[in-house]
Amino acid sequence: ASQVTVGNLDPTQEYYFFIFDYNDDNLARAENYITPNNPTQPPLPVSLLSFSARLTGSQVALRWTTASELNNKGFEVERSVDGKNFSKVLFRAGKGNTVARTDYEAVDAAPLRGTSYYRLKQIDFDGKTWYSSPAIIRNLGKGEVAVYPNPVQDVLTIEMAGSLIGQRLVLTDMTGRAIRTSTLASDGKVDVSDLQTGTYFLS
C-alpha cells in the first residue's frame, strides 16, 4: 500500500515511524530497512528513563531519571486538575551536559485534593522545551471516593482511602430500582459492559 492510517495514538507522546520493504522472492525474503522515510529528527536534549509520582502521607514524592543530558537548563514540575491545564509547582536545575545517569527527587508538600496530574517540563538553555507524559495521583481523604471514567462504557474503577475489599456496591437506576448489588475486589474494578445506556447512581 502507498499509505496507511495509524490510530489510537497518545497526544502526549512523540512518535517516529519507520518503513521496511519486504521482498518476497521465495528465496531470501529480505526485509530492507528504508532510512530515513520521515524528516530527520534532531536528538532530544534529555534522554528521560523514567518519571513517577507517588503519594506518601500528605505529600507527593516525585522522582525521575535521565540517561544523558544535552544543553539542559533544568526541569519544571507542573501540576493539573484536569490533565490539560498545567501550572508550575517547582524547578530543579539540570546537569547541562552529561552522559552519566542522573537521578532527581522533589516533593510537592501541598498536593491537591482528589485527582491531579504531574508532568515534567524540560527546558534548554536556549529556551526550547519538552514535556513528559503525565503521572496521575489520587489524594483521597477519609470518606472520599473517586469513580472513573465517567461516563463509562466497559469497566468502572472505584478508589477510596483504605481497603476496598468487602465494600458493598449498589447500582440503582433513575427510578431508584437496584440494578446490581455486589462486593468490591481489591482493585475496585466493576464490569458494567452489560448495562444499557443511561444514568445510574452508585452507593
158 and 115 in contact (C-beta within 8 Å)? no
pLDDT digits (tens, 9 = 90+) for 37-54: 444 555 567 888 899 999
Q: What is the CA radius of gyration of the chain?
A: 23
Mean pLDDT of 10-29: 65
pLDDT of residue 33: 47
In this prediction, residues 145-164 reach a mean pLDDT of 81
CA dist., res. 134 & res. 83, Å (int): 8
Per-residue pLDDT of 80-123, as tens digits, reads 988 889 999 999 999 999 989 999 999 999 998 888 899 999 99
**How many residues are recorded in the chain?**
203
pLDDT of residue 112: 87
The C-alpha cell at 17 is: 515511524
- pLDDT on residue 37: 46
Q: State pLDDT tens for residues 54-84.
A: 988 889 999 999 999 999 999 999 999 888 8
What is the DSSP annotation of 8-48? ---TTS-----EEEEE--SSS-EEEEE--SSPPPPPPSEEE
| Cell output for 131 | 514535556
Q: Within 10 Å of residue 22's Cβ, how many Cβ atoms? A: 9
**Sheet containing 145-148: order of strands:** 145-148, 155-160, 189-191
Across 4-17, average pLDDT: 80
Say how far apart CA 132 and CA 24 lie, in whole Å: 41
pTM attached to this predicted model: 0.57
